Amino acid sequence: MGRDVQAAYEQAVKEEPRYAGIVPVGLAWNRAMDTGVADANPYDGLDANKIDLWAYDHYHASQYGYYLEALMDFGKLTGHDPLELKGKDRVAEALGISPAQANALMQVAHDTLAGAK
């Protein structure tokens, strides 16, 4: 679904030049699942050592999903690499996201933004 949403946004940008660009959050979610950082199926239980990007309703994002979105926004809007936050990010801690999980999500955001250039 992330790829479909991305394609639709790319088409919208082509048709409407006032848009400055796209933050590829859906592609970041796909990458998190494809690389084994996040569980790919919210309906079959959480796989061991994986992050659940989905909230309990399987429709909205969990704190991990919204954190990944925020990392993508941060990287796209500021031009800074999300990996710059390693060791300095208090938001993840406040959300109950472990340093290892935060670092994994920062890497996903970094890789996604690097691939989107």
Model confidence pLDDT, tens digit, residues 66-91: 999 999 999 999 999 999 999 888 99
Cβ count near 5 (within 10 Å): 16
Q: Is residue 71 part of a domain?
A: yes
pLDDT at residue 117, as a whole number: 53
Q: Is residue 7 part of a domain?
A: no
Q: Which domain holds residue 103?
A: 23-115
Structure tokens at 72: 């993508």
Into how many domains does the chain fold?
Answer: 1
pLDDT at residue 88, as a whole number: 84
- Distance separating alpha carbons of residues 75 and 36, to the nearest angstrom: 22
- Distance separating alpha carbons of residues 40 and 57, to the nearest angstrom: 15
Mean pLDDT of 101-116: 94
Q: Is residue 100 part of a domain?
A: yes
Cβ count near 7 (within 10 Å): 11
Quick one: which of 24, 35, 44, 11 has its CA closest to 105?
35
Residue 3's H or E segment, with its range, is helix 2-15
pLDDT at residue 77, as a whole number: 93
For helices 2-15 and 25-34, angle between their N-to-C axes, nearest 10 degrees: 160
* Of residues 88 and 116, more confidently modeled: 88
